[in-house]
Amino acid sequence: MSESEIPRGDPFALFDEWFAEAGTSEPNDPNAVALATATPAGAPSVRMVLLKGHGPDLSGGAGGFTFYTNAQSRKGGEIRANMQAALLFHWKSLRRQIRIEGPLSEVSPEQADDYFHSRSRASQIASAASQQSRPLPGRDDYLARMEALEAEYAGREVPRPPHWTGFTLTPQAIEFWLDRNARAHDRRKFTRSAPGAPWDSELLYP
């Protein structure tokens, strides 16, 4: 086809379409996304996280993409110091990717509580016991912390650690990439001047 297969329209609606397709085609974790952060001095780092919420109604109606983490981890420290990030979804089964860039905001304690307690109890214990990104003398130390918490909260709800929280990225730019023959790939980038402003879009050379 000579025309772009990526429509103009609404990038959130297009994300929903591609995300739903990935849910049926990806063998594991279609919501896995690479999260890139940076220090105030500009030193970057990247890791995989899981997308736990998205849509045009987040961030006060500006739209957003939400993930959760330990705010005392390396990425948490970088986020708190520099509230900007980028996300990259790559679905190999579909030969598609989506890049998203914009500022971050922290979810409310109530939202963090709700998501934390929606997880399995084992996941709650594992998260509460983890001093994420800090040196670990041996795996037995981590397992012992988990066992101690399990005993402490036997028969009771595991409280969410105050440093376990979520962040929502409000996109300023969303780029869709679609594999095409002979590496003549299809790329469309959506941008807006401010949260909630209308989207502009343009095709990019691959």
Domain ranges, ordered by start, for the chain:
11-108+164-204, 118-159
Q: How many CB atoms lie within 10 A of CB 12?
A: 20
User: Residue 128: its pLDDT value, please?
Assistant: 93
Collect the ranges in the chain with pLDDT lower than 50: 1
Nearest to 36 by CA among 101, 92, 91, 95: 101
For domain 11-108+164-204, give the CATH number.
Answer: 2.30.110.10
For residues 36 and 100, the answer to whether their CB atoms sit within 8 Å is no
pLDDT score recorded for residue 3: 80
Instruction: Provide, rounded to the nearest whole percent, the portion of the chain with pLDDT above 70.
Output: 99
Q: Given this model, what pLDDT does residue 1 score? A: 47
Helices (H), the chain: 11-25, 58-61, 74-81, 109-116, 121-129, 139-152
Give CA 125 to chain center in angstroms: 22
Nearest to 169, CA basis, from 60, 63, 16: 63
Q: Which residue has the tokens 């988990």?
A: 146
